[in-house]
Structure 1
């Protein structure tokens, strides 16, 4: 088997290496999965760089939190999976062409789903849905604002909000993505670097201050969103694309009582009840089947070309995801 590892933090193209190991065998209640597609997400790159800030990571480590694969061997006592089943692994360390998973960590993929789209089903769409439903009580006609709106999470937020009748102001830094966001259902798109003028632009676009802001960038961008929301509004930060700590002015937090919250999908999974997880997965499967979760794919690279894939993922101006394919299926 082949897998990507990093032994130290640094630039992904410099520290990621591909290693060969003997094919593992599944133990009791375990299955062996040959991965077909693996996702590359900003969180993966930040973790490699040592900038994600979640938890200390034991090195060497293998990145990757989204994948689609096929069961090709089962261990003793496995009851719910068989050779040939398509699965969506849960957990991490998925940049490998072969995985050993406890059968409960390998839920079946939706029947008939496109493998690439299925690999992308859980992380970004799940985050988008929970940002809209678990943070603030929103009603039809309410406004929200988000930055990095052309990200995969951002575009899912737009689509889910449109279905619920929630209106969105979407902040981007490139003119060429405005049309795609409008097609997704964006009510307003602002091209801005998140400067001091953003709050006024957001309020003019919405006609009133939004009650919720979603921040994927951090640094000064968090403060720009805090200035844009209503008094006692909420800013939820779920990313740190800038690599900077979140900064919010005292006038907004102290005198307007703007609340700053964090969201991390991994932590949600650690604390959610089985019923909540089942409800989320059922919802995502339904949306995948309906085509709502369709994500543009810019390119897919065999695992052997992981450095090319990482270089592509780091480029600005992309309009789609970069994925890895398992060498055994490339």
Structure 2
């Protein structure tokens, strides 16, 4: 069978290859065999292949952090899943045609749900929801501010916040992104710049914003801090700028602005199995009902992984890039 593997760290589209690997074999007790249908390419995948992620796998390594598949074989002792069920595996190494996983580490999904949207449910929607819930108890009518608002996580923040009656102030890098964000429910869209706090206050009516969500790091953290009410918190979950997060002493000392980091791997590791199942069960329902989605720009067969990775690395994209290990899903 085919899998995407890399034997060295480096530029993803140069070091990752589609190769033949042995079949995974029959599932053992408590396991199921999956045929993977679709897998997105996320920033975490690019960082992992480049050797710049927090966890560096042993080489050679199979790539992929999430996806969706169908059960093709059920091992002994598994009674809640059947052949043909569509599931979202919560483990890694997903860029393969087939794999065997523990049955307790998959989330069952309805057969009629959007396959590509299900493939993208593990990382970005969960990150958005947990950041909205974990740090500040936001009430309906309050505001949250975020940068990289046109990213996949950013779009999920908009949709999930809107469902709770929470307004979003959305920071983008350039003009031309306002319409697409407002179409999915963004309340305010502001292009980043030195006068960001003033323009945010204009669009929010001077609302006391208590939560800022940051994917960029660097100097924008200070500008987000200037948009917050005293005692507000900046939650950083990304490093798009490649620079350290920054707050000024007047923000931290005199205004009580705090900065913390969010990493989904650590957050899930601190949750009970029932809470994880509840989190993803709710997200699957939203996808099934069409209330949670992000734009897809292109899909590629697994054999074209180099082209897919090069496309995913482009900064000016209009949606996510996915690979379909076994051809177009039905």
Distance 1:242 1:95 in 2: 27
Contact kept in structure 1, 2:308 and 2:323, CA below 8 Å:
yes
Question: How far off its partner does 1:317 sit?
Answer: 1.9
Summarize the Cα distance change of 1:321–1:211 in structure 2 as closer, same or farther, 3 Å threshold.
same
Query: CA, structure 1 residues 179+284, in 2 after alignment: closer, same or farther (shift >3 Å)?
Result: same
Change (3 A) 1:4 1:237: same
Structure with more relative contact order (C-alpha pairs < 8 Å, separation 6 or more): 2
Do structure 1's residue 204 and structure 2's residue 202 form an aligned pair? yes
Say yes or no: does 1:243 pair with 2:230: no
Higher alpha-carbon deviation: 108-117 or 301-310: 108-117
Q: Residues 145-203 of structure 1, C-alpha deviation per residue, up to 9 Å, x if partnerless?
A: 100000111111111212222111100113222101111111110112xx432222222
The CA distance in 2 between the partners of 1:7 and 1:244, in whole Å, is 28
Is the contact between residue 202 and residue 209 of structure 1 (CA under 8 Å) also seen in structure 2? no
Could you tell me whether the CA contact under 8 Å between 2:90 and 2:122 is conserved in 1?
no
Counterpart in 2 of 1:103? Answer: 103
Is 2:54 the counterpart of 1:49?
Answer: no
The reply to whether residue 28 of structure 1 matches residue 26 of structure 2 is no
SS at match of 1:233: strand
Report matched runs for 1:220-259 at 5 Å. 220-259=219-258
Query: TM-score if structure 1 supplies the norm length?
Result: 0.93
Q: Secondary structure at the match of 2:62?
A: coil
Is the Cα contact below 8 Å between 2:48 and 2:55 reproduced in 1?
A: no
Question: How far did 1:79 drift?
Answer: 2.7
Gap runs ≥5 in structure 2: none
Give the secondary structure class of the aligned counterpart of 1:231: strand
Tell whether the 8 Å contact from 1:203 to 1:209 is kept in structure 2 after alignment.
Answer: no
Task: Say which SS state the counterpart of residue 277 (structure 2) adopts.
Answer: helix
Question: How many pairs align?
Answer: 327
Written as runs of structure 1 = structure 2, the 5 A alignment for 1:1-330 is 1-25=1-25, 26-52=27-53, 54-192=54-192, 195-206=193-204, 207-327=206-326
Q: SS at the partner of 2:176?
A: helix
Distance 2:324 2:132 in 1: 32
Query: 2: distance between equivalents of 1:9 and 1:245?
Result: 23
* Preserved CA contact (<8 Å) 1:5 1:17: yes
Equivalent position SS for 1:108: strand
In 1, distance between residues paired with 2:62 and 2:257?
A: 38
Distance, in Å, in 2 between the alignment partners of 1:83 and 1:185 is: 38
- Structure 1 position 237, deviation (Å): 0.7
**What do the CA deviations read for 1:225-262 (whole angstroms, capped 9, x no partner)?**
12221111000011112222212222212221111111
User: Residues 146 and 222 from structure 1, CA distance in 2 versus in 1: closer, same or farther, beyond 3 angstroms?
Assistant: same
Structure 2 distance, partners of 1:79, 1:38, is 26
TM-score w.r.t. the length of structure 2 is 0.93
Query: Following the alignment from structure 1 to structure 2, what is the Cα–Cα distance between the partners of residues 24 and 298?
Result: 31
How far apart are residue 217 of structure 1 and its match?
1.0
Checking the alignment, whether the CA contact within 8 Å between 1:304 and 1:327 is kept in structure 2 is: no
Distance 1:56 1:249 in 2: 33
Structure 1 residues 115-156: Cα deviation after superposition (integer angstroms, max 9, x where no partner): 111111232111111111111111122111100000111111
Describe the superposition over 1:310-329 as per-residue Cα deviations: whole angstroms up to 9, x where unpaired. Answer: 11111122111100001366
